[in-house]
Amino acid sequence: MLRVDITKQLGEFTVAASFTSEGRVTGLFGASGSGKTSLINTIAGLLRPDRGTIVIDGETVDDTTAGIHVPTYRRRIGYVFQDARLFPHLDVRQNLDYGRRMNRLADDPAQRKRVVDLLDIGALLDRRPGKLSGGERQRVALGRALLSKPRLLLLDEPLGALDESRKLEILPYLVRLRDEAGVPMVYVSHDAAELRQLATQIVMLRHGQVTAFGGVKVLTATS
Ligand SMILES: Nc1ncnc2c1ncn2[C@@H]1O[C@H](COP(=O)(O)OP(=O)(O)OP(=O)(O)O)[C@@H](O)[C@H]1O
């Protein structure tokens, strides 16, 4: 469960968002500049709300009245960006291991195998990111995030840098993550078609405000 009720001022721009999602994939949908990245960064703890609360999986990670602001690295979240942000000097195996080591988690070969199989990246383990396609890099970034055993996975336009055919290559893996990985996701996109395939709940943003919340049918009015 994710509960968000915050306001955040960024220069002239105000984010004022309130919603509770039980969905497996909560889609943050809106045009460029509607506040999607600012909102997901606030959930990640990278931005501190001016007012309000954020509760992830029953834990209050922000509460401005009580003075609570849990730092990002203690929120137990995974974050996947538009560009995969893999470490170029590490091979795929070492990149995958990074999240686990940073979070001081015990080695879990069974979990690693499950994630590698889920994302079909077993053949890439000895390669460095420079020798991977954009789609392969994103699959590794997803794997790295999952192996840190997050209780919430944040994805900010993870397909945004890919061309249409690469997007179609990755979407089935994201659907598999939704159905098999058991980790709830917040998924930022300005692409209604992408969210229709993936999201179970939609938060629609406009000028920093939530204008609609509900199932994917709230996207119906959008192209
Ligand atoms: N630190 C900041 N200071 C001032 N204004 C900011 C700051 N960060 C973001 N903004 C403004 O807030 C608005 C929302 O930006 P944000 O990146 O959250 O939108 P977005 O929906 O993610 O857009 P895109 O789809 O283009 O990434 C924009 O007008 C942006 O210029």
51-71 pLDDT, tens digit per residue, is: 999 999 999 999 999 999 999
Going across the sheet that includes 77-80, the strands are 68-69, 59-63, 51-56, 2-10, 13-21, 209-214, 201-206, 25-29, 185-189, 152-156, 77-80
**Ligand 1 atom index nearest CA of 205:** 21
Nearest CA to ligand 1 atom 10: 10
Given a cut of 60, whether residue 218 has pLDDT beyond it is yes
CATH architecture of 2-219: 3-Layer(aba) Sandwich (3.40)
Ligand 1 mean position to 39 CA, how many Å? 9
Asked if pLDDT for residue 207 goes beyond 60, the answer is: yes
β-sheet bridge partners, residue 79: 154
Report which ligand 1 atom has the smallest distance to the Cα of 11: 4
d(CA 105, CA 109): 12
CB-facing half-sphere around the CA of 142: CA atoms within 13 A? 32
Nearest 5°: phi and psi at 40?
A: -70, -35
Q: What does the DSSP 8-state code read for residue 161? A: T
Could you identify the atom of ligand 1 that is nearest to the CA of residue 41?
A: 18
Split at pLDDT 50, 70, 90, the class of 220 is: confident
Which pLDDT band, with edges at 50, 70 and 90, does 23 fall under? confident
Query: Above pLDDT 70, what percent of the chain?
Result: 99
222 band by pLDDT with thresholds 50, 70 and 90: low
Residues 28-38: pLDDT tens digits? 999 999 999 99
Nearest CA residue ID for atom 6, ligand 1:
10
Residues with CB under 6 A from ligand 1: 10-11, 13, 30, 32-38, 190
In this model, does residue 223 exceed pLDDT 60? no
Complex ipTM over 0.90: yes
User: Which residue's alpha carbon is at the smallest distance from atom 30 of ligand 1?
Assistant: 33
Using the mean position of ligand 1's atoms as its centre, give its distance from the Cα of residue 168 in Å.
28
Question: 220 or 206, which is more confident?
Answer: 206
Type of residue found at 180? E
Q: What share of the chain is helix, strand, coil (3-state, %, to 5)?
A: 35, 30, 35
Taking only the tens place, the pLDDT of each residue in 96-109 is 999 888 888 899 99
DSSP SS3 for 13: strand
pLDDT at 221: 63
Statement: residue 87 has pLDDT above 70: yes
In the reported structure, the alpha carbon of residue 109 is separated from the centroid of ligand 1 by a whole-number distance in angstroms of 40
Spans of all domains in the chain: 2-219
Share of the chain above pLDDT 90, in %: 82
